[in-house]
């Protein structure tokens, strides 16, 4: 049976209104660089150099600009300053330019006579394909086939090919290859200098770019054709271009290949970026087109062997989960701890290339159990930006380290909206939770000793300063925005307070453990961090006295101490169109004083600390909060799906599964237009693994424990897990499940609930 339909995202028929959506959905990359799925020849009436000023706005309610096309080339770590929005990733020059022209007309999807159009992204190897028939003004019928990939094996390379088959007629065909610098990022020109040139050999072109931040980017391309051609240089001030002309007739086949190498001054490799880019091209040409692809495909195959989830009985879910895994694999640079994964998965400008709590809570579990080294580097990023977190705390008047709600390279706060930057403080504790999740999943205790202890102590200092003490001597956290961003000034948000208590408790436990088992390491930490004798007791006292607005006898866990005092709403009278976010139908002022959740808050708490809540508390809280949760955040639906599965509500869980899958793939929602909701990709993985497979989190279990509840129609679910330094294959059927340690060293079987 041909399984292509389970591996390919397809666009059958061109619709200009969906073009931006497919650009995001078809984003390619390899961790080092990424490119949106734009047409090689560009799009008519969609200039990429429009200049405008984007203002700070509510992240949910901001109305993005809607040009027909928004190209994007991103290298994590290449950033610049926006005059209002602080630091943002730079949309780099467009390296994919390959244009066709015949009889005075350029191939244009909106203006040319096109038939037989199809485009598809093959998730197995990350290759993007496009096929169409172009009827030229001169009467030729040309079958044009495009394919390209960004190599995951040779990370500086982008490989493209166009094949033109003349089905009828004869005439002349022009091919124009470009590297274009007429690009803006959120309306801003971040380029201080652009130098187009020739690579030095026939069919070679180059573009050297200097950003206003001082980064150098080198793009060099070489062209090959199956027919003899003399390439003519056609450079402009900001574009490097070569043009070749061919005489063709019925039956002819012409193939033009473009090999592009990209290097920057931020690269990990030694040596100058200008010399390395030429070396990359030279080496690639020696390897050859076929071998380059084989290396690339083999690397993807290896990644899929470790990360794939196999679903039998639901082809739609199978394709959707693979699409999410593809973007999770593509977006991560597992060898570079200087960057993390931005909220749009490097598939758009919308979130400025910044890093949120999504990384630790939504994304990390996937990497923990597929590529633990990648998970380690994501946490090393937080260690590497600890100085920035220290500066954040100092700027707010506190000791220690306060992690940014929106972080860029330095770790300093980049969020231009005070509501989130000032009050959404739980990220500082979320990072400690993720740190321990990693250690417990991998057994990497050395990470705590060499890196984690610094994060623990510095964040504990911040929390001790941030806590207020009431007349009864109880510690409180006031003026807090929890995960639910529709209530910004709450008192003792349950999620935040529990995470902070956990963070302080683990700091104490780590210090006590080091002092008892590794006194030299403890002494080194005391000296390095300047830990005073009384500080450890302060951490302990604050953890013990910090208030939690619930206990084991609480039926419905309150979102915060003051949640009951907020106003009730008649959702049906306010939210008249459920296809649009609730926030569009209510003023922010009213929303901020009402019981309308943007996303899971208490349920997120219960997901992270499941052992602390009874089944009755879980059900009561789910029944209470779900009807007043708007799911205006893409982080919300997967959490509810997991809880519904835990509560053995299969219809609700299946409904949430469909909603999670629709966030990026629905043509009606066009959800990928501004980039991939990468946290939702991680959420889908968690919904399947933690929810439907019922895996107990490694945070709370040393052994693999499953309580599966497969959706109706699913006949099999299987996936690999990295667990405590070993790899396992999990296979689940409707009535039983199996856990195999790979290489057959052990075997565990169980009965499905």
Give tens-digit pLDDT for 18-52: 999 999 999 999 999 999 999 999 998 899 989 99
Looking at the predicted structure, is the pLDDT value of residue 750 above 60? no
- Angstrom distance (rounded) from CA 91 to CA 435: 32
Grade residue 200 by pLDDT with cuts at 50, 70 and 90.
low
Question: Contact 460/391 with Cβ under 8 angstroms?
Answer: no
Percent of the chain at pLDDT above 70?
Answer: 98
Q: What torsion, rounded to 10 degrees, do the Cα atoms 538, 541, 547, 548 define?
A: 110
Strand partners, 188: 185
What SS3 state is found at 429?
Answer: helix
Looking at the predicted structure, is the pLDDT value of residue 647 above 90? yes
Other Cβ atoms less than 10 A from the Cβ of 270: the count is: 6
**Helices and strands, number each (H, E), in the chain:** 22, 28
Question: 504 — phi, psi (to 5°)?
Answer: -65, -40
Give the pLDDT score at 59: 66
Higher pLDDT, 208 or 335: 208
- Mean pLDDT for the stretch of residues 483-492: 96
- Mean pLDDT for the stretch of residues 223-243: 94
**Angle (nearest 5°) at CA 228 between 222 and 234:** 50
Mean pLDDT over all residues of the chain?
95
Give tens-digit pLDDT for 86-120: 999 999 999 999 999 999 999 999 999 999 999 99
Cite the DSSP H helix spans in 363-493.
Answer: 364-370, 372-384, 386-395, 418-423, 427-442, 445-447, 453-466
- Angstrom distance (rounded) from CA 231 to CA 243: 5
Give tens-digit pLDDT for 560-586: 999 999 999 999 999 999 989 999 999
- Mean pLDDT for the stretch of residues 541-567: 96
Picking from 709, 710, 748, the residue whose alpha carbon sits closest to that of residue 726 is 748
CA distances from 574 to 395, 487, 590, 594, 637 (A): 40, 18, 12, 12, 21
Side by side, the strands of the sheet bearing 191-197 are 8-12, 113-122, 127-135, 141-150, 157-168, 253-264, 216-225, 204-211, 191-197
Q: Residue 681 has which token pair?
A: 């990709």
Looking at the predicted structure, is the pLDDT value of residue 131 above 60? yes
Name the packing angle between helices 453-466 and 372-384 (round to 10°). 50
Give tens-digit pLDDT for 291-330: 999 999 999 999 999 999 999 999 999 999 999 999 999 9
Looking at the predicted structure, is the pLDDT value of residue 751 above 80? no
**Angle (nearest 5°) at CA 414 between 412 and 419:** 115
Percent of the chain at pLDDT above 90?
Answer: 93
Give the pLDDT score at 747: 38
Query: Which helix (DSSP H) or strand (DSSP E) does residue 655 occupy?
Result: helix 650-665
Q: Residue 682 has which token pair?
A: 């991680």
Give the pLDDT score at 287: 94
Q: Note the pTM of the prediction, 2 decimals.
A: 0.96
- Mean pLDDT for the stretch of residues 446-459: 96
Which residues have a Cβ under 8 Å from the Cβ of 302 and sit 6 or more positions away?
Answer: none
Q: Residue 111 has which token pair?
A: 């203006």
Strand pairing of 478-480 and 232-233? unpaired
Give tens-digit pLDDT for 241-289: 999 999 999 999 999 999 999 999 999 999 999 999 999 999 999 999 9
Give the pLDDT score at 62: 80
Owner of token pair 């984007």: 54
Q: Which domains are assigned to the chain?
A: 22-305 (2.70.98.40), 314-361+554-559+597-753 (no CATH), 385-549 (1.50.10.10)
Looking at the predicted structure, is the pLDDT value of residue 744 above 60? no
Give the pLDDT score at 199: 63
């Amino acid at each position: 049976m041909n399984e292509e339909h389970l591996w390919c995202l397809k666009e059958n028929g061109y619709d200009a209104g969906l073009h931006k959506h497919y650009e995001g959905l078809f984003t390619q990359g390899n961790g080092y660089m990424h490119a949106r799925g734009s047409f090689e020849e560009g799009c008519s009436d969609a200039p990429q150099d429009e200049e405008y000023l984007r203002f700070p706005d509510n992240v949910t309610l901001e109305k993005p600009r809607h040009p027909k096309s928004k190209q994007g080339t991103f290298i994590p770590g290449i950033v610049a300053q926006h005059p209002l929005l602080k630091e943002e990733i730079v949309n780099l020059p467009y390296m994919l330019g390959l244009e066709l022209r015949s009889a005075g007309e350029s191939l244009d999807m909106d203006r040319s006579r096109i038939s037989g159009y199809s485009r598809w992204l093959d998730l197995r190897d990350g290759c993007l394909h496009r096929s169409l028939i172009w009827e030229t003004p001169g009467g030729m019928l040309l079958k044009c086939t495009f394919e390209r990939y960004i190599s995951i094996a040779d990370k500086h390379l982008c490989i493209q090919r166009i094949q033109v088959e003349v089905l009828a007629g004869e005439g002349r065909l022009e091919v124009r290859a470009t590297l274009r610098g007429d690009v803006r990022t959120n309306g801003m020109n971040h380029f201080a200098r652009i130098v187009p040139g020739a690579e030095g050999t026939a069919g070679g072109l180059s573009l050297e770019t200097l950003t206003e931040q001082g980064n150098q980017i080198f793009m060099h391309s070489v062209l090959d054709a199956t027919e003899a051609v003399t390439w003519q240089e056609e450079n402009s001030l900001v574009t490097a271009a070569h043009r070749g002309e061919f005489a063709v007739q019925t039956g002819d086949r012409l193939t033009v290949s473009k090999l592009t190498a990209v290097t920057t001054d931020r690269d990990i490799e030694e040596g100058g970026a200008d010399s390395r880019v030429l070396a990359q091209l030279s080496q690639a040409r020696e390897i050859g087109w076929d071998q380059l692809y084989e290396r690339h495909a083999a690397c993807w195959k290896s990644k899929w062997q470790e990360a794939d989830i196999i679903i039998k009985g639901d082809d739609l879910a199978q394709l959707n989960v693979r699409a999410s895994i593809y973007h999770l694999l593509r977006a991560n640079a597992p060898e570079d701890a200087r960057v993390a994964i931005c909220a749009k998965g490097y598939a758009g400008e919308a979130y400025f290339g910044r890093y949120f709590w999504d990384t630790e809570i939504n994304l990390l579990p996937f990497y923990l159990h597929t590529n633990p080294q990648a998970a380690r580097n994501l946490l090393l990023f937080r260690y590497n930006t600890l100085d920035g977190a220290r500066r954040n705390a100092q700027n707010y008047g506190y000791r220690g380290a306060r992690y940014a709600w929106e972080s860029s390279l330095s770790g300093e706060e980049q969020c231009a909206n005070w509501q989130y930057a000032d009050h959404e403080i739980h990220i500082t504790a979320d990072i400690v939770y993720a740190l321990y999740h990693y250690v417990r999943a991998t057994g990497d205790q050395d990470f705590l000793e060499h890196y984690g202890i610094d994060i623990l102590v510095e964040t504990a200092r911040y929390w001790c300063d941030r806590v207020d003490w009431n007349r009864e001597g109880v510690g409180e956290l006031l003026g807090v925005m929890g995960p639910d961003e529709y209530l910004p000034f709450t008192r003792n948000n349950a999620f935040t307070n529990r995470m902070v208590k956990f963070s302080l408790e683990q700091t104490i436990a780590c210090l006590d453990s080091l002092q008892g088992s590794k006194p030299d390491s403890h002494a080194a930490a005391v000296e390095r961090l300047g830990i005073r004798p009384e500080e450890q007791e302060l951490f302990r006292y604050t953890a013990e006295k910090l208030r939690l607005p619930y206990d084991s006898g609480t039926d419905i866990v309150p979102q915060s101490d003051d949640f009951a005092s907020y106003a009730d709403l008649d959702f049906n009278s306010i939210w008249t169109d459920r296809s649009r976010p609730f926030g569009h139908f209510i003023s922010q002022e009213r929303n901020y004083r009402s019981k309308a959740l943007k996303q899971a808050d208490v349920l997120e708490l219960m997901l992270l600390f499941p052992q602390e809540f009874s089944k009755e508390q879980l059900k009561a809280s789910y029944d209470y909060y779900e009807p007043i949760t708007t799911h205006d955040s893409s982080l919300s639906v997967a959490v509810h799906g997991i809880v519904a599965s835990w509560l053995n509500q299969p219809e609700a869980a299946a409904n949430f599964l469909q909603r999670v899958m629709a966030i990026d793939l629905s043509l009606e929602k066009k959800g990928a237009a501004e980039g991939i909701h990468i946290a939702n990709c991680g959420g889908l993985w968690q919904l399947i693994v933690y929810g439907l497979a019922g895996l107990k989190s490694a945070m709370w279990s040393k052994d693999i424990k499953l309580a599966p509840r497969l959706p109706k129609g699913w006949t099999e679910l299987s996936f690999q897990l990295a667990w405590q330094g070993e790899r396992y294959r999990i296979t689940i059927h409707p009535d039983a499940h199996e856990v195999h340690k790979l290489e057959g060293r052990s075997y565990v079987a169980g009965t499905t609930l």
